[in-house]
Amino acid sequence: MKSPWDIRYANQEALYGKAPNAFFSHILPLYPCGTILLPCDGEGRNAIHAAKKGWDVHAFDGSQVGINTAQRWAAEANVAIQCEVSDAFDFAPKEQFDLVGLFYAHMPSERRRAFHHLAIQWLKPGGTLILEGFHTDQLHYQSGGPRNESMLFTPEMLAEDFKELLATQNEVVQVTLDEGPLHQGLASIVRYIGTK
């Protein structure tokens, strides 16, 4: 049986656009190229961007349709990415990564903390985690994201989830999203950066 995300990606390509997340695109040049893991990367827009910039890219998503699109887009862009279909809780890499990027990887509250703990384990010592996701105030906007407050973020929540990391950024900002048909318009988001 196809997952809801398989159905979404099959019905319309580039649901979040083909360009990378703007925060990710802005932050990535500040770090020396190395290995990067992009969980829940959908159709691979962020993975392909990182590969174009010289990173050794690993990505996964729960949607086979999304991964198929990512592989096709990567071939069209003439870049190599390692991507696979996996549930976040089944993903078991044989290595740790210099950078882990979580972009709009929202989960029910009972799974969120365990997922964030896994993300810390995927980082090398000295590695950096970059996150952008919807703040709880996003319920007042129509620009995308879960309509369930328990799946949204606050800086306090992220500080607790990632208390093993040294945070260098953890703030709420208002932005105007322009990321495909599902992320459009004024939004309230949280941006977090922490180092292991």
Distance between CA 38 and CA 58 in Å, rounded? 6
The pTM of the full predicted model, rounded to 2 decimals, is 0.96
Q: Which two tokens stand for residue 73?
A: 């887009």
Do 120 and 196 touch, CB atoms closer than 8 A?
A: yes
Distance between CA 66 and CA 62 in Å, rounded? 8
Give the mean model confidence (pLDDT) for residues 5-11: 86
Domain boundaries, the chain: 4-195
Provide the mean pLDDT of the chain: 96
Confidence of residue 7 (pLDDT cuts 50, 70, 90): confident
Question: Any idea how long the chain is?
Answer: 196
Do 164 and 127 touch, CB atoms closer than 8 A?
A: no
Closest CA to 10 of 56, 55, 61, 63: 63
Q: Which CATH class is domain 4-195?
A: alpha beta
CA dist list (Å): 155 to 58, 82, 90, 91, 193: 27, 31, 27, 26, 11
Higher pLDDT, 15 or 185: 185
